[in-house]
């Protein structure tokens, strides 16, 4: 069914169903699962889609993504797949009493990676007892994180790192909180770092998008906090800098290290920013750039083409699960479509008025009026005849050429 015949909410629901179907297919027929040679196991890799079905690579990023998407799915196929994924994780962590420990997951880069452990916990929070008994797995992963808390503040990128960092701490806090664990200490660390007075070093794009990701994790985690006002201010500050970039199809690839190895994690900050806008400012959410980016994402998801061009040729399973999470947030907050339409049209006029086309016309008119005013002044010789038109036109000229 075409987009023109569906409401925004219906388009989102269609996109969510297609994401679910893609993950179910991947975990059922993909080489990631077939390579395990055990019918009781299933897995998901870094990549998604038919082009990636032949790639055997899999790890906690993909597994956590699959759990987040398939966990809420009520079908028997999803229940069976989630159970097999959870069993595979238990076998790899060596905590299932009846399954031998597996060695497919890299102990150093998966089971000690704080972001991956936090995302795994978050994905497991959507798994019901009817799908899998995941208590052992949740307890094992949570204990590993809690015992590696650095100075009562947070986590580095890997278990055992000496210095806490914002991004891994945010994902760990969200995962632990989603499963009912006390996160008061690392939560305070995050809030203190996020709400501190900005300094010039924090205006860099990587720092800004990291803060957007952290704000998203705290805003939509199951953590009671009185810092809503501070988080909203942090969102508004980021919005002013990042809104113009919604016209482009980009995400942040953040670099971090493990010894001599360089690793990367994707931050699809545009998805995070749109979800935050739906929570904190419907005026910004309904704006021209935000709605264009949202509908572009939804359309790409429905067409099976959603990816960021500078992040590789394959679809990302993790980015798709974040899109699934963010669109659920957005869908729950779309209550007045007529209001959104009004905001969209109003902001579209504002964007048009600030466009290069309008500025060019304003420049030409200003120059014509300035020239006419000078000619008129030359004839009369009265400054009073010159001043109003000349000043008004000069002001219009400066506004037209002001940087956007």
Is it the case that residue 43 has pLDDT exceeding 70? yes
Model confidence pLDDT, tens digit, residues 378-399: 666 555 555 555 555 555 555 5
Q: How distant is the alpha carbon of residue 192 from its chain centre? A: 22
> Does the pLDDT value for residue 86 go beyond 90?
yes
Burial class of residue 382 (count of CB atoms within 10 Å of its CB; 0-12, 13-18, 19+): exposed
pLDDT band per the 50, 70, 90 thresholds, residue 360:
low
Q: Can you tell me the distance from the alpha carbon of 248 to that of 312, in angstroms, rounded to the nearest whole number? A: 16
Return the pLDDT at 101.
58
* pLDDT average, residue stretch 294-320: 94
- Mean pLDDT score, 2-9: 75
Residues 258 and 371 in one domain: no
21 and 55 part of one domain: yes
Q: Do 195 and 223 have their domain in common?
A: yes
Q: Which residues contact 19 (CB under 8 A, 6 or more apart)?
A: 69, 301, 320, 321, 323, 324
Question: Looking at the structure, do residues 328 and 368 belong to the same domain, yes or no?
Answer: no
Q: What is the pLDDT confidence band of residue 173, given thresholds at 50, 70 and 90?
A: very high
> How far does CA 359 lie from the centroid of its chain?
34
Q: Give the CA count within 13 Å in the CB-facing half-sphere of 108.
A: 5
- pLDDT(37) > 90: no
Mean pLDDT computed over 220-225: 76
What's the pLDDT at 380?
Answer: 65
Q: What is the token pair recorded at 316?
A: 């990302």
- On whether both 153 and 296 belong to a single domain, the answer is yes
| Same domain flag for 309 and 219 | yes
pLDDT over 90 percentage in the chain: 58
pLDDT of residue 393: 55
Same domain, 153 and 241: yes
The answer to whether 396 and 366 have CB atoms below 8 angstroms apart is: yes
Q: Which of 221, 316, 196, 348 is nearest to 272 (CA)?
A: 221
* Tokens (6 digits) for 255: 């670099």
Does residue 160 sit in the same domain as residue 56? yes
pLDDT higher at 403 or 311: 311
Same domain, 265 and 381: no
Round to whole Å and give the CA distance between 61 and 265.
10
pLDDT of residue 40: 87
d(CA 182, CA 173): 9
- Domain around 334: 3-353
* pTM reported for the whole predicted model: 0.85
Tokens of 172: 């760990």
Cβ 69 vs Cβ 24: under 8 Å: no
> Does residue 117 share a domain with residue 101?
yes
**At 283, is the pLDDT very low, low, confident or very high (cuts 50, 70, 90)?**
confident
DSSP calls for 153-201: TB--SBTT-SS--HHHHHHHHHHHHHTT---HHHHHHHHHHHHSPP-GG
Which of 56-60, 334-338, 373-377 is most confident? 56-60
pLDDT in tens, 109-158: 788 999 999 999 999 999 999 999 999 999 999 999 999 999 989 999 99
How would residue 94 be classed by pLDDT, with cut points 50, 70 and 90?
confident
Residue listed under structure tokens 């008129």: 376
Residues 116 and 161 in one domain: yes
pLDDT tops 70 at residue 194: yes
Do 336 and 301 fall within a single domain? Answer: yes
pLDDT classification of 203: cutoffs 50, 70, 90: very low
Under DSSP, the state recorded for 102 is P
Q: Cα separation of 359 and 265, whole Å?
A: 40
The whole-number average pLDDT for the span 320-336 is: 93
Residue 141: per-residue pLDDT: 97
CATH of the domain at 83: 1.50.10
In this prediction, residue 222 carries a pLDDT of 75
For residues 270 and 246, the answer to whether their CB atoms sit within 8 Å is yes
Q: Which helix (H) or strand (E) holds 315?
A: strand 315-316
The number of domains in the chain is 2
Q: What is the four-CA torsion angle of 69, 73, 78, 80, rounded to 10 degrees?
A: 110
**3-class secondary-structure state, position 99:** coil
What span, in angstroms and rounded, lies between the C-alpha atoms of 228 and 219? 8
């Amino acid at each position: 069914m075409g987009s023109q015949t569906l409401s925004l909410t219906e388009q989102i629901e269609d996109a969510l169903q297609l994401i679910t179907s893609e993950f179910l297919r991947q975990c059922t027929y993909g080489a990631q699962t077939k390579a395990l040679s055990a019918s009781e196991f299933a897995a998901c890799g870094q990549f998604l889609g038919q082009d990636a079905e032949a790639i055997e690579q899999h790890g906690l990023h993909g597994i956590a993504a699959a759990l987040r998407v398939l966990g809420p799915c009520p079908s028997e196929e999803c229940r069976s797949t989630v159970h097999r994924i959870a069993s595979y994780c238990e076998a790899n962590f060596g905590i299932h009493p009846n399954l031998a420990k597996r060695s497919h997951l890299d102990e150093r880069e998966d089971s000690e990676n704080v972001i991956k452990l936090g995302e795994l916990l978050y994905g497991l929070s959507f798994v019901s007892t009817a799908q899998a008994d995941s208590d052992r797995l949740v307890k094992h992963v949570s204990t590993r994180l809690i015992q590696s808390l650095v100075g009562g503040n947070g986590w580095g990128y890997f278990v055992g790192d000496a210095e806490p960092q914002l991004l891994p701490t945010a994902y760990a806090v969200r995962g632990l909180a989603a499963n009912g664990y006390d996160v008061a200490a690392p939560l305070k660390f995050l809030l203190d770092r996020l709400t501190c007075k900005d300094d010039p070093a924090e205006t860099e794009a990587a720092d800004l998008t990291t803060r957007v990701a952290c704000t998203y994790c705290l805003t939509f985690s199951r953590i009671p906090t009185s810092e809503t006002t501070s988080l909203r201010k942090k969102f508004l500050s980021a919005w002013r800098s990042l809104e113009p970039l919604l016209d482009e199809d980009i995400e942040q690839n953040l670099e971090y290290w493990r010894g001599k190895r360089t690793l990367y994690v994707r931050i699809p900050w545009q998805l995070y920013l749109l979800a935050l806008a739906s929570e904190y400012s419907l005026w910004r959410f309904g704006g021209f750039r935000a709605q264009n980016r949202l509908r572009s994402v939804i359309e790409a998801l429905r067409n099976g083409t959603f990816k960021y061009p500078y992040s590789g040729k394959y679809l990302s399973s993790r980015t798709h699960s974040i899109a699934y999470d963010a669109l659920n947030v957005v869908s729950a907050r779309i209550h007045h479509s007529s209001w959104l339409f009004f905001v969209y049209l109003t902001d579209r006029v504002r964007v048009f008025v600030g466009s290069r086309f309008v500025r060019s016309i304003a420049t030409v008119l200003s120059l014509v009026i300035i020239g006419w005013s000078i000619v008129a002044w030359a004839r009369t010789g009265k400054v009073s005849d010159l001043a109003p038109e000349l000043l008004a036109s000069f002001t219009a000229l400066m506004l037209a050429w002001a940087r956007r």
